[in-house]
Amino acid sequence: MAQIQYAASTGATPFTSTTAVQTVGAIVNAATDCGVQLKKYRLAYNGVTATNPPVTVRFFTTGNTTAGTSTSLTVTQVSGRTLTLANITAAGGYTAEPTTKAYSGDAFLLTPNGGTVIYDFPLGDEPDIGTAATIGLEHTASVAVGTEVSLWFTRI
């Protein structure tokens, strides 16, 4: 049987990022009986200027599930038996950031000039969170750029 997986995505319409630290995608797990584990992510920019400096990208977790101002991401079930997703939501394009973040220590640079990353976490290395927590992907861009993100996750 396939594992039950969900994808949270900006969809076909990218949002325009700001020129400051910004959470581009996050999975918000309310107080439920399960955790959330990231399985993969996709991040793409639609910039066209080759001289724009790279964007710094990194993951974070926070125990705060309500901080920040954001836009809802569409969550769809992509595999496994049909199971209603309760108390887990997704957001992106934050205009006010969560105030307390813990970083994974892993950061990378990505060009905003059509830069794309497609990454599946290796088995055993998937980041996860417990109840009443958020896991997200943030970036710091020096120029505003169209941004698309999708976060694939499962309940654990």
What residue numbers bound the domain in which 137 lies?
Answer: 5-155
How many structural domains are present in the chain?
A: 1
pLDDT at residue 7 in the model: 96
Query: Is 147:15 a contact under the CB 8 Å cutoff?
Result: yes
| 40 pLDDT tier (thresholds 50, 70, 90) | very high
Kindly report, residue by residue over 7-26, the tens digit of the pLDDT: 999 877 778 887 889 999 99
Whichever domain contains 116, its CATH number is: 2.60.120
What is the DSSP track for 28-80? EE-S-S--EEEEEEEEEE----TTSPPEEEEEEEES-SS-SEEEEPEEEEEES
Distance (Å) of CA 10 to CA 7, 37, 99, 101, 104: 10, 19, 23, 22, 23
This prediction has a pTM of: 0.91
- What three-state secondary structure class fits 3? coil
